Structure 1
Amino acid sequence: MKLHLKYILFSAFIFGSFYSCSIAKYIPEDERLYTGASLIIASDSIIKNEDGLRTELETVISPEPNSKLLGMYLGLYYYYKNQKENPGFINRWLYKKLGEKPVYQSDVETFDVEDLLLNRLENRGFFYSKASSKFEESEQKAAVAYTVNVPTPYRMETYQLDSLPAPIYGEIETLVETTPFTKGMRFDLSSMKLERLRIDNNLKKKGYYNFDDSFLIFEADTNRYHNKSFDLFLKLKKAVPKKATVPYRIAHVNIYPNYETADSIYTTSIRYNDKNFIQKEVFFKPKYLDPFVTLKESELYNPETSRNTARRLSTIGAYKYVNIQYKEIDTLATDSLGLLEANIYLSPLNKRAFMAELQVVTKSNSFTGPALALTYSNRNVFGGGETYNTTVKVGYEAQMGGGKNLGDSSLELGLKNELIFPRVIFPIKINDDFFKYSIPKTKTSVSVDFLDRQKLYTLLSGTVLFGYVWDANRYVTHQINPISISYTDLMNSSPEFEDILSVNPFLRRSFEQQFISGLTYSFTYNELVDVQKTHQKYLNFTLDVAGNSISLFGKEQEVAGPKTFLGLEYAQYAKADVDLRYHFNFAKEQTIAARVFAGYGLAYGNSDVVPFVKQYYAGGPYSVRAFRIRSLGPGTYNADEDTNNTSNSFFDKTGNIRLEANLEYRFPIVSFLKGAIFADAGNIWNSKENPVFDGKDKFSSDFISELGMGAGVGLRVDIQSFVIRFDLAAPFHDPSLPKGQRFNFDVSKPILNFAIGYPF
C-alpha cells in the first residue's frame, strides 16, 4: 500500500474535487464553517518593525481553519464521508491520512483571542491598546476580522540598579553598566527576560552557585514623566535566600577514576596537584588524568569550567559516564563566601572488547563489496587512558557501473595495529594550558595490506603513521602526521598490465616509486555538526609533502637516475587540496547542498610524476556522477579516438590537477526514503604534458570548456544517518568530444551509481 501512496492520494484528490462542493450539505443548520481570520493594526504613530509585531500577534489567533487544497476542502470532505454508517475501507483509510474535523464559527472564542492580543501588545510596551472583532458571515461560512488600536509605546529614559546586599551589588552593578539597553528603547518584556538571563549567566561565572534569574525583577516608574517615558529599576525579589547572594569557592576536588555505583568504600586516596584521586587501586594514573580536569581548588565556581572538564574527560575514550556533582560545605568562616566540594565520578568502559563487523563497503574509487572486520580493543592499557586496537579485515570488491574490464574486482586482506594516547607525546614538554578546549591525542599505527586486483597485479603495502589529532573548538579540527611512511611492492604483474605500462611510461613511473616518507596536515572547519542550523559551512584543507627530509640521506646512483634510500627509490612531491561545502536547510528535511573542490600535486626532485596512489581521478559516485569511475579526462582525451591505444582504455585515468563543483537539492519522499536532483561538473589534468595523451591532457586557460558536466536524480535510504545511495545521471557536456558537439544531454545511456553515505 505504501508503494502506491502517491497514486492513491492523487486519485483521492481527483475524486474529491468532484464532490468537494457537496460538503455544504453536511454543515449543521445552526453552524457556519469557519474560514479564517484577518488582522488590522491601526496606530497613531509609526511602528518600528511592524511586520515582526504582526507575526507575533498572529501566533495567538486561534483556531486554525480547515485546510484547503486548490480551493477544495479535501480533508473535511473525507471526514464527513467517514461519518456514514458504512464508509468503506477506502474512505476510512483516506480519512486517517487526510481527514480533518470541521472548525465551526461556534468554536471561535473571540474574547479570549482579544485578551491574548492585548497581552502581547502590553508585553511590547503598547499599553492601553484596544482590540475588537467582527464576524463576516455568509450563508454557511464565517470569517472573523480582528482590529487592534495601538497607541504610542512607552520608552525608557534610565536603567538603574536598586539597592542590593553586598557583595552581589557590585557584581550586578558592573553588569548593568554593560547592558544592551539604550535610552529611548521601547518597553519589551522579552528583552527584559534576556537581560535577566544575561546577568544570571555572568553571575554564575563569578561563583554565584545558588543564584537564579527568577530572583531578579524589573519595575517601571512613569511618575516623573507625562510623555509615555519610564525609568526602569532592577531589584531582587523579596525573601531571596542569603546563600543565593554570595559567591562560592571550590574547597575540594575529589576524583573517582574507577567509580561504580555499587561501591561505597574507597581505600586509596592520592593527593596530586591539589586534587584528591580516590580509588580502590590505581586504575588511572593521577598524573595523566589531572590535565583533563580544569576545576581547581580555591577558584570560584564556574559552570563553564565544569562543562569543559566533563567534555575533556569524555574525549579520553576510556569512560562511558562522566558525572560532576557539587556539595555545599557548612562553614562558619564568613557570611560573604560559600564553599563547595566538587566530586567527579568516572564510570569506565569495559577494559577489553571484541567486535565483529560485517560491512557493505563502497569506496571513492567505486569498488563495492562485502567485508568482514574483526577488532580487538584494550582500553586504558598502561593506566593513562591509552587505547590499543588491532583489526583483521578480509574483503571482496567489484567495480560497479561499468562493463567487464581488467581489474574490475579485487580481494583485500589487511592487518592494522593502532595505539592511541590521550595526550601529546613529544620530546619537548608542551604546557597543557595551551589546549583549553581539548587535549590532543597522539595516534600511532602500523598496517599491512595485501591487494589482489584481478588479472592485473598483486600489491603488498605497509604503512607507519605517527601524528596528532586536536579539536581546537566545536567546529575546528587539526590533524598532523609528522611521520607518514608507506612502502608498496608491485608483485605478480600480469602481461596485460605490463602492456598497459609499456604504453604509458608516466603510469609506470608512478608505480616504480615504492617508498613514500613525508608529512601530512589537515585543517577542518565543520558546521555540519549543527544539524539545526539553516546555513552550514564546511572547509577542509589538506597538505601532503613527501621526500624532503629523507632526501638528506638519499644515495646517488652510479648511473644518472633517481636517488635511493636503503636501496629503495623514494618519491618527492607536494600536494594540496581544498574542499568547500555549503548547506542551505530552507525547510524540513529540504536542503540545497553545494561543493567546490580544487587540488594540485607537484612532483619535484627525485620524482617526475606524482605516485599513482596520490594522483587525482574524476567520475564516479563521489565525483561527476554522469561519467564512469576514472573515465573522465584527463583534459579532452578520448580513448576511442586514440589509434595508438591498443587496449582501447588506459588503466585508471589520473592527473595531478583536479577541479570540481557540485550542486544538489535534497528532499523527503516518504519516511526514510529521500530524493535528490543534482548537477556536477569537473575534470582532471596534468601540469606536464603526457605524450601518451597527444597533448590533450595538459591544463590550460581554456579549462572551463573542458569540464565534464552532468545532471541526474537520486534515491536514498536514510536510516538514522546510515545512507544507501542510488544516483542516476547522464552527461550534458562531454569534453572528450570535438568542440561544437560537447553540449548534448544524452539520457539514452545513463550511469547508475551505488554508494554508502552522501557525496558531500
Structure 2
Amino acid sequence: GVPYTLRQVNYSIRDDQLAEFVLKDTTNSLIRPGINYDAYLLDDERFRVTNFLRNNGYFYFNRNYILYKVDSNLQSRQMDLTAEFLQPVERQRETGQSIEKKHLRYRINNITVNTDFRFMPDEYIPNDTLIVPQWIRYPERPYKYYFLYYDNLRITPPTIDRFIFTRGGRFYRIDDANLTYSRLSNLAITRFVNMNFTPVKEFPDEGYGLLDAHIDLGRNPAQVFSIEAEGTNTGGFLGMGANLVYTNRNLLRGGEIFTLKLKGALEMQRSLGESTTFFLNFNTLETGIEARLNLPKLLLPRRQQRYARYAAPSTTFTTGLNFQRRPDYTRYILNFSFGYEWRETITKSHVFIPVQLNSVRIFRSDEFTKWLQGLRDPRLIYQYTNHLVPLTRYVFTYSNQPLRINRDFVFLRAGIESSGNILSLFDQTFHRAQTEQGFYTWLGIRYAQFVRTETDFRYYKFLSPKSNLVFRLAGGIGVPYGNSDVLPVEKGFYAGGANGIRGWEIRSLGPGNYSNPENLFEKMGELWLESNLEYRFPMYRFLHGAIFTDAGNIWMLSESPDFPDGKFDASNFHQQIAISSGFGLRFDFSFFVFRLDGAFKVKDPAKSPGDYWVDMTKFQLRDITLNFAIGYPF
C-alpha cells in the first residue's frame, strides 16, 4: 500500500539543559517532515542522539530515555511524530517513592592508571603511586594522573599520557573513551585494557557532576622468542624456510618494539648450468639478519598529542643483511630504511619513507655471465650487476571495510617512489667525474635513478554472509632515466604466479607478445596491467571454493632486442592481454588460510595472432597450472 509520511516532528523535553543540546542538533536529525515512516530509521536516530549526548557529558544517558509517540489519526496517510525524552527516576529508600531527577553532564576529575593489573584486589598487592599533573589545568585545581605500579614503573607516564584522550576538567566524551581504549590496546606491551568511570560528586542545581576514571592495563611479557616456519612454491619449485625471532615489546619503557630476526631458507631454482645441491634437491640458499625498531610515535620536533588522536602513529627503523646463493649467481643485499606510518581517519592511512637504501652486490657464475654477454640488450646486464638504490617512497591506503560485518567495501592502495635524484643533483652540481660508460657511482657502485608508481584497487561485493564477488584492477609503471637505463631487478614488474595471472608460472608471462620457450629466465617489464574477478563461496565447514578469471600482462617502455614485440603500444595492447581461468580450494582455519588454485590459459599472447585464443577442445589436465599459497590472493 501507500506508505505513511511524517507531517510534523515535535520534541517533548522537560529538562531545559538537555533540550538546549537536543534542539540545536536537529539539523543533523535523520527524521524530518516529508519522509516515509520507517521504524528502523527511528531506531537509528535514537542511537545517533544518544551518541551525541554522550559526547557532550551525558555519561548516564542511554537510548531507553527516548520514546517516540505517533499520531496517525489524520486520515491523510500522514503522521505526527513526537520524540519524548524521559527523566531518570530514583527510588527513595525511606518512602519507597520514585522521584524524577535531572540529566547531569559529567566532567572528568582525576584519572588512575594501574600499569600492571594482575586480576587480584589491590589490597593484597602493595603498590606504589606516582602522581603526575595533567596538561590541562583549571584555576580552581590541577587535575591529576595517579599511576599505580609494582616494584618498577615499566612504562613511562608520558607514553601513557600520549594515548589517553579523556582529560580532567573536560566533559565526558564517549568517543574519547573509545579512542583511549583503542590506542592503549594497540600497544604491544598491553595484553588488555579495562576502563571504568565512577561518579564522585554531583551538583544537581548546576546540572553537572564529576567522574573519576580508572584504567587497568594488563601487560604482555616484554621479551619473547619465537620460531617461524614457512613453505614456498615458486612456479612449481618447492622451498622451505625458518626464522628465529627475538622481540622486545617495551625496549625503552615507552612501548617501543625491537625485533631481531635470523632467517634461513632453501629453494629449488632453474639453472643455466650445473648447480650445487645444499640439501636434498634444494640448490638455492638464503640466509640473513634483520633488525627493526618501531616507536609508537612520529619522531618529529612537534608535540605528539597533536598527532595521536587521528593517527595511531609510528616511526620505524629497519636494517638488514641478506645473503642469497642461487645456481647462477651469489647476491649480497644490505638495506636500511627510516619511515613514518599514521592514520588520517579510520579509513585512510599513510606511509612515508624519506630514506631507504639498498646496496646489491652480485657475483655471477661463468655460465650466467656468458649468457648475459650473449644478450643483445646491454640494459639487462645491468639488472645483474652491482647497484645502489637510494629511495624515497610514499603509500596511501584507503579501506572502508567494516568490522565484524559482511558488507560491501572497497580497498585502494597507491604508491610512488623515486630513486637517485638527490645524488644526481649533487653529482651535477659539483661536477663529479663519471665512469668510462658515462654514469656516476657512489662507493664504487652505480646508483639507480628512476620514478615508479603502482596502484591496486579492489571491490568486494557480498552476495550472502559467506559468499562474495571480488573485482581487482591493478597496474604500475617504472621509468628509468639519468643514471639508469633499466629498472633494478627488484623494482621491475612481473606477471604470473599464485597472486597474479594464475594460468602462468610466476614471472613467466610477457612482456607483450614476446615468445621464446628456451628462455626460462624471469621476464621483467616496466609497465604492468592486471585485472581479476573471483567468486568465493562456502563448500563444507572450513573448506571454501572459488571460480576466477585473471587478465593482464607486462610491457617494456621501449624496444628491446632481447624481447621483440615486448614494447607497449596503445593501439594494440589489448591484443596482448593474457587471460586465464580456473577453480580454487581454500582451507580456512581462521588463524591462517591454505590455498590451492588450478588455472588454465584462455588467451595466450605469446602465440601467433590467429591462435591467441586457446582451443579448449584440445584441453588436457597437464595444461593446468597449480598454485599453492598461504592466504587469499587479494
Tell me the TM-score range normalised by the shorter chain. Answer: 0.7 to 0.9
* 2:325 matches 1:452: yes
* 2:353 matches 1:481: yes
Q: Distance in 2 between matches of 1:337 and 1:696?
A: 74
Q: Distance in 1 between matches of 2:101 and 2:239?
A: 64
Corresponding residue to 1:269 among 130, 146, 158: 130
Change (3 A) 1:218 1:524: closer
Q: Distance in 2 between matches of 1:270 and 1:367?
A: 61
1:712-751 deviation line (CA, Å, top 9, x unaligned): 2222222115222222222121111111111124532221
Determine helix, strand or coil for the equivalent of 2:44. Answer: helix
Q: Distance in 1 between matches of 2:326 and 2:118?
A: 51
1:257-304 deviation line (CA, Å, top 9, x unaligned): 333333444323131434414133332222232121111111111111
Change (3 A) 1:638 1:337: same
Partners of 1:412 and 1:449 within 8 A in 2: yes
Determine helix, strand or coil for the equivalent of 1:271. Answer: strand
Change (3 A) 1:528 1:300: closer
1:179-190 pair list within 5 angstroms: 179-183=29-33, 189-190=39-40
The aligned amino acid for 2:438 is G
Change (3 A) 1:705 1:469: same
Partners of 2:7 and 2:33 within 8 A in 1: yes
Deviation for aligned residue 1:595: 1.1
Corresponding residue to 1:563 among 440, 453, 458: 440
1:50-129 pair list within 5 angstroms: none
1:134-160 deviation line (CA, Å, top 9, x unaligned): xxxxxxxxxxxxxxxxxxx5x644332
1:371-450 pair list within 5 angstroms: 371-398=241-268, 409-426=283-300, 428-429=301-302, 432-450=305-323
1:212-266 deviation line (CA, Å, top 9, x unaligned): 221232344578x676766443334466346661111111122233333334443
Which segment drifts farther, 431-440 or 733-742? 431-440
| Bigger-Rg structure (1/2) | 1
* 2:314 matches 1:465: no
Q: Distance in 1 between matches of 2:530 and 2:72?
A: 64
Change (3 A) 1:229 1:537: closer
Change (3 A) 1:258 1:680: same
Partners of 2:361 and 2:386 within 8 A in 1: no
1:440-464 deviation line (CA, Å, top 9, x unaligned): 100101111111112x111111110
Q: Distance in 1 between matches of 2:457 and 2:78?
A: 51
Change (3 A) 1:558 1:201: closer
Partners of 1:585 and 1:591 within 8 A in 2: yes
What's 2:190 paired with?
319
* 2:631 matches 1:757: yes
Change (3 A) 1:650 1:607: farther
1:677-699 deviation line (CA, Å, top 9, x unaligned): 21111111110211122354454
What's 1:611 paired with?
488
Q: Distance in 2 between matches of 1:692 and 1:297?
A: 70
Change (3 A) 1:290 1:362: farther
Deviation for aligned residue 1:476: 2.0
What's 1:199 paired with?
49
Corresponding residue to 1:354 among 225, 228, 238: 225
Q: Distance in 2 between matches of 1:229 and 1:690?
A: 74
1:143-182 pair list within 5 angstroms: 156-176=6-26, 178-182=28-32
What's 1:285 paired with?
156
Corresponding residue to 2:84 among 217, 235, 250: 235
* 2:405 matches 1:535: no
Q: Distance in 1 between matches of 2:41 and 2:408?
A: 25
Structure 1 spans left out of the alignment, 5+ residues: 1-45, 49-152, 641-647
Partners of 1:353 and 1:378 within 8 A in 2: yes
What is the CA RMSD across the aligned residues, in angstroms? 2.6
The aligned amino acid for 1:541 is A
TM-score normalised to structure 1 length? 0.74
Partners of 1:312 and 1:438 within 8 A in 2: no
What's 1:55 paired with?
none
Deviation for aligned residue 1:579: 0.9
What's 1:115 paired with?
none
Partners of 2:110 and 2:168 within 8 A in 1: yes
Deviation for aligned residue 1:520: 1.4
Deviation for aligned residue 1:629: 2.0
Determine helix, strand or coil for the equivalent of 2:110. Answer: strand
Change (3 A) 1:673 1:627: same
What's 1:252 paired with?
110
What's 2:97 paired with?
none
Deviation for aligned residue 1:164: 0.5
Deviation for aligned residue 1:406: 8.0
Partners of 1:160 and 1:176 within 8 A in 2: no
Which segment drifts farther, 229-238 or 202-211? 229-238
Partners of 1:485 and 1:518 within 8 A in 2: yes
Q: Distance in 2 between matches of 1:165 and 1:410?
A: 77
Partners of 2:273 and 2:367 within 8 A in 1: no
Partners of 1:211 and 1:244 within 8 A in 2: no
Structure 2 spans left out of the alignment, 5+ residues: 91-99, 136-143, 276-281
The aligned amino acid for 2:61 is F
Partners of 1:272 and 1:287 within 8 A in 2: no
Change (3 A) 1:190 1:677: closer
Corresponding residue to 1:586 among 418, 439, 463: 463
The aligned amino acid for 1:494 is S
Partners of 1:466 and 1:484 within 8 A in 2: yes
The aligned amino acid for 1:506 is R
Deviation for aligned residue 1:175: 3.7
* 2:207 matches 1:336: yes
Q: Distance in 1 between matches of 2:512 and 2:435?
A: 38
Q: Distance in 2 between matches of 1:168 and 1:734?
A: 70
What's 2:140 paired with?
none
Which segment drifts farther, 532-541 or 269-278? 269-278
Change (3 A) 1:165 1:351: same
Deviation for aligned residue 1:354: 0.9
Deviation for aligned residue 1:654: 0.7
Change (3 A) 1:230 1:282: same
Which segment drifts farther, 333-342 or 481-490? 333-342
Partners of 2:512 and 2:566 within 8 A in 1: yes
What's 2:551 paired with?
681
Q: Distance in 1 between matches of 2:101 and 2:330?
A: 74
Partners of 2:459 and 2:470 within 8 A in 1: yes
How many residue pairs match? The answer is 596
Partners of 1:686 and 1:699 within 8 A in 2: no
Q: Distance in 2 between matches of 1:430 and 1:368?
A: 50
Determine helix, strand or coil for the equivalent of 2:254. Answer: coil
1:666-745 pair list within 5 angstroms: 666-720=536-590, 722-745=592-615
Partners of 2:163 and 2:183 within 8 A in 1: yes
Determine helix, strand or coil for the equivalent of 1:287. Answer: helix
Corresponding residue to 2:477 among 587, 600, 609: 600
Corresponding residue to 1:551 among 424, 429, 441: 424
Q: Distance in 1 between matches of 2:293 and 2:105?
A: 44
Deviation for aligned residue 1:650: 5.1
1:546-599 deviation line (CA, Å, top 9, x unaligned): 111222444422535210112221111111011111121102422221111111
1:370-394 deviation line (CA, Å, top 9, x unaligned): 2111111112111111111101111
Q: Distance in 2 between matches of 1:629 and 1:287?
A: 49
Determine helix, strand or coil for the equivalent of 1:437. Answer: helix
Partners of 1:308 and 1:437 within 8 A in 2: no
